[in-house]
Amino acid sequence: MTYDRSKVVGRSVVPRQQKEAQEMTSLRAVLLVAAVAYGAEAASLCSGVGGCKSRQDAVDPLTKDDLGELRGENLEVAPPLEEREKLRSSSAIHPWPGAQVPYAVWGAQATKDMVETALSFLEDHTCVNFTKRDGEARYLLIKEGDGGCWTSSLGYPSSDKKVTINLGPGCVHGSQIRHEVMHALGFPHEHTRPDRADYVSIKWANIKESAKSQYYMDERYPTMEVPYDLHSIMHYGKFDFAVDKSQPTMVPDPWVDGGLGGHSLSWRDKRKVNVFYQCPDV
């Protein structure tokens, strides 16, 4: 919306002070309309499961939506038992053929919007393409549901089954969706790499029993040629799943500055995807 600074009344030029007053009134009206529209958009985008702190949190894929700030703890859990068996049933993790991932989304429109934003971000920063499912037997299903945040299997399924991402209450946030989709693309947690002992120490006694499987080493890690990434979106933080929240569950080597984990894809995350899918960096 614009307004005309040279507006006249009839054929007479409006006196300068009166003109300035009219312009200020018009400007206030423009700003009020914009503010109402801005708030309405935020309410629409944040009305689904999990909500969001602000419009920026809803629409910006680079928002640092710190899971600790938003929910107080990491809500990722192991999949249900019938799904969990798929995680380690294969001796290898395979990429989706041709870097093409058919997908479907079940949930409220706000959730679908957040998922589409996360997938677009991954497409913009890697060579993977996500296409709406058109009858494929093997596809990625992203759905709202109970029971926390989890992904049923890593990479392309070995049989005609779907890979399921579950987004429980509190899980519909950009960084959490990107994290789970990275699992679906074939990536275990960074801190489960076989070379993790060179970079972090796991404090097993302080990890909740229900979360210990999230720290088991995975020898199948698909892109060991890319260096270990302490700031990967796939790396847990220092205090995730702590029994005693004043003590860490994972400690980096003393030479490492700052925290562990990330809210968006690091450069090495992007590189790992493109190496695994055998395509050039984008």
Give the other-Cβ count within 10 Å of 243's Cβ. Answer: 13
Marked catalytic residue, from 76, 144, 180, 190:
180
- With a cut of 50, say whether residue 4 has pLDDT above it: no
Averaged pLDDT for residues 85-113: 87
Residue 79 CA to residue 214 CA, distance in Å, equals: 11
Architecture of domain 72-276: 3-Layer(aba) Sandwich (3.40)
Q: Could you give the 3-state DSSP secondary structure of residue 63?
A: coil
Please tell me the predicted confidence (pLDDT) of residue 83: 54
Please tell me the predicted confidence (pLDDT) of residue 74: 64
* Chain Cα centroid distance, residue 229: 17
pTM of structure: 0.72
Structure tokens at 96: 């989706």
| Helices and strands (DSSP H and E) totals, the chain | 7, 7
**Alpha helix positions (H), the chain:** 16-45, 55-59, 67-71, 81-87, 109-125, 174-185, 267-276
Residue 238 CA to residue 245 CA, distance in Å, equals: 10
Give the other-Cβ count within 10 Å of 214's Cβ. Answer: 20
Averaged pLDDT for residues 8-18: 39
Q: Could you give the 3-state DSSP secondary structure of residue 201?
A: strand
User: Does 180 qualify as catalytic in the annotation?
Assistant: yes
Please tell me the predicted confidence (pLDDT) of residue 65: 32
- With a cut of 50, say whether residue 10 has pLDDT above it: no
Please tell me the predicted confidence (pLDDT) of residue 253: 86
Annotated binding-site positions for Zn(2+): 179, 183, 189
- With a cut of 50, say whether residue 28 has pLDDT above it: no
Please tell me the predicted confidence (pLDDT) of residue 60: 26
CA distances to 68, 78, 159, 269 from 128, in Å: 29, 25, 21, 13
Q: Could you give the 3-state DSSP secondary structure of residue 129?
A: strand
Residue 176 CA to residue 95 CA, distance in Å, equals: 21
Q: Could you give the 3-state DSSP secondary structure of residue 217?
A: coil
pLDDT, one tens digit per residue, over 148-193 is 899 999 999 988 889 999 999 999 999 999 999 999 999 999 999 9
Rounded to 5, what percent of the chain is helix, strand, coil? 35, 10, 50
pLDDT, one tens digit per residue, over 221-280 is 999 999 999 999 999 999 999 999 999 999 998 877 778 999 999 999 999 999 999 987
Please tell me the predicted confidence (pLDDT) of residue 78: 66
pLDDT-based confidence at 21, cuts 50/70/90? very low
Please report, for the chain, the start and end positions of each structural domain, with discontinuous segments joined by +. 72-276
Annotated binding-site positions: 179, 183, 189
Please tell me the predicted confidence (pLDDT) of residue 249: 97
pLDDT, one tens digit per residue, over 32-85 is 433 334 344 333 333 333 333 322 222 222 223 333 333 345 667 666 655 544
